[in-house]
Structure 1
């Protein structure tokens, strides 16, 4: 089959790889009908995430049609149309039973589990197409995908919904919704969101769905700011304004009720002096991540507010203002999204017309177009906000 494969920093190729096969009775094979390039994939593209191997199949936002079913799979049958969560979860362990599917104790096998435990202190769930720290599973930017624990993860798509309406249930819609849910939004609240990429845009929509009165969205890419504005947010360009001063002005000096970091490790190095210093530290191997946005979110949050973190970080963060957070009573909430926990609610919101997640799609292509679209997405060229590929 054809698939998009990783061969090093900035080297993604469309090439032929072996077809996946059933390896366990709880597996299914799906024929991929739509997949997407995620902002998290760009961390692999940029060489930020360790333990990628040449030839690894990329992608974790995937849906399609079930074409083969393992003997122990109870909930799916051949012909079912499904969306596949990026988190791989057994459904039976301590964490899955409590709804914390992204903390699954079984889906990240050895030796990946031991390696990531040394790095992070314990292992989260395995993920599709996201390095050999997290299972080494083949991803879904391919013609076919093997889905482990298939009676737990994939959700069936109701009749009448298009691929593009439901594809983002695989990751970015639940992630943006979780980011807003973490904020414990109350009537009249102001939510500030850094990053108007796909997750940030979903967080804006979700914050309003959950009752926010006002959303302030921070970015610098015109197309992203325009989408944020169309979604109801008041937008700030961090290159034109002092974000802290502006948020304080907009909130009467109090700060936002909650702040969402939807950027993560690769914050724009031109944003401020500390972001430029972060970039230098990473380039000289004195640091692993660039947490400028997180610092700013902490300072811009009101006393006893919440900082919600869904942007991806991979290692150690430098100069985080914990004194500010502790002395002002901030709450931090963060997670790799336990997607399965959110799927029934969010599918219902799509069915009832509360949201059509396809609004973020700007570019479409085939797997053969994938390498060039990775570059276009990374460089934010041609108004590229979200890419959908159809094998």
Structure 2
């Protein structure tokens, strides 16, 4: 095939490009982003690969337009350019950027739903800008989508808020957890661990952490999990129902090999309970969620990351006050933009000791 990394006019920066299904390549001739009057350009200082990135690499059809562009959506960095109408940010500010950059100048936003069709995520934008794994990153509507990082917050704390915490906290918010509720978190990778932390902060009682790695069980305990269920010990539905003396109030689906995990969440949840799906199952055909009877009298929601300036500032406040420590997710640190592909490989299951790697595009620390 003809390389999508061929020379193009105005190409001035490096970025990790999705060349074709299953293959990324470091390109050095990507066009630098252009800043509009309400926008900003940041220089990423730290990035964090996500399992969603690995899913996109294997299933690029899931995000039309991503081929030929830098991918990535978790980053924090320094502002290097602002538009003439940006009021609250200036060059040099240290900022966090949400994994989904929303367009608040839409009817959807006015109706209370900011994630419009031209939302930027995974490197896809209304004007086809590059993703976060590049030397510069475009941020639409900067005053609404950026958040200043307080001096007391580390880079690693901040970058874990841009997707991992914001996704999980949104899932827990949608679960409408009452104090003392029982909650099962299925899959305790980075998203699941943040869901455990969010459930504990929301007042949940028994929190079942379901996984297989001891490293993740240990961190889940620090975040507030009370019970630990291993896939290796048999059917997780039966284990949860037995331990809880009946179905749980809510199940949060944060992982699994395929969407049958959603069925498990439904089966372990009581009538009038809630099942929240935070996992992505991009590589399979649609499947029935569960037997019809198990959906009756239950609420099911599949939740996409909801993040903006206000949400990021709330999360930063929680970290600043010591309510939770998102940096515990970080298990590996790499340096240099050229290390991004190695970090992606870690997120693809190549390293069982990896929960979340970060790559510093600037000095580590």
Shorter-normalised TM range: 0.7 to 0.9
Residue correspondences, number: 344
Superposed counterparts of 1:133-212, under 5 Å: 136-212=128-204
Partner Cα separation in structure 2 for residue 322 and residue 229 of structure 1? 33
Aligned-residue CA RMSD (Å): 2.1
| Aligned partner of 1:17 among 29, 37, 44 | 29
Query: Cα distance 1:54–1:319, how it changes in 2: closer, same or farther (>3 A)?
Result: closer
CA shift for structure 1 position 88:
2.0
CA shift for structure 1 position 335:
2.4
Partner Cα separation in structure 2 for residue 389 and residue 52 of structure 1? 25
Query: Cα distance 1:24–1:390, how it changes in 2: closer, same or farther (>3 A)?
Result: same
Contact 1:99/1:338 (<8 A) preserved: no
Superposed counterparts of 1:334-373, under 5 Å: 334-340=302-308, 342-365=311-334, 366-373=336-343
Secondary structure of the 1:101 match is: coil
Structure 2 gap segments, 5+ residues each: 1-12
Superposed counterparts of 1:19-58, under 5 Å: 20-47=32-59, 49-50=61-62, 51=64, 53-58=66-71
Partner Cα separation in structure 2 for residue 22 and residue 8 of structure 1? 25
Partner Cα separation in structure 2 for residue 338 and residue 100 of structure 1? 10
CA shift for structure 1 position 86:
1.8
Could you tell me the TM-score, scaled by structure 2's length? 0.87
Contact 1:126/1:135 (<8 A) preserved: no
Answering whether residue 103 of structure 2 is matched by residue 90 of structure 1, we say yes
CA shift for structure 1 position 93:
2.0
Partner Cα separation in structure 2 for residue 376 and residue 313 of structure 1? 19
- The equivalent of 1:68 in structure 2 is 81
Structure 1 gap segments, 5+ residues each: 109-124, 269-289
- The equivalent of 1:296 in structure 2 is 264
Answering whether residue 311 of structure 2 is matched by residue 317 of structure 1, we say no
Contact 2:35/2:41 (<8 A) preserved: no
Partner Cα separation in structure 1 for residue 129 and residue 120 of structure 2? 8
Could you tell me the TM-score, scaled by structure 1's length? 0.82
- The equivalent of 2:237 in structure 1 is 244
Partner Cα separation in structure 2 for residue 141 and residue 149 of structure 1? 20
Secondary structure of the 1:33 match is: strand
Answering whether residue 98 of structure 2 is matched by residue 77 of structure 1, we say no
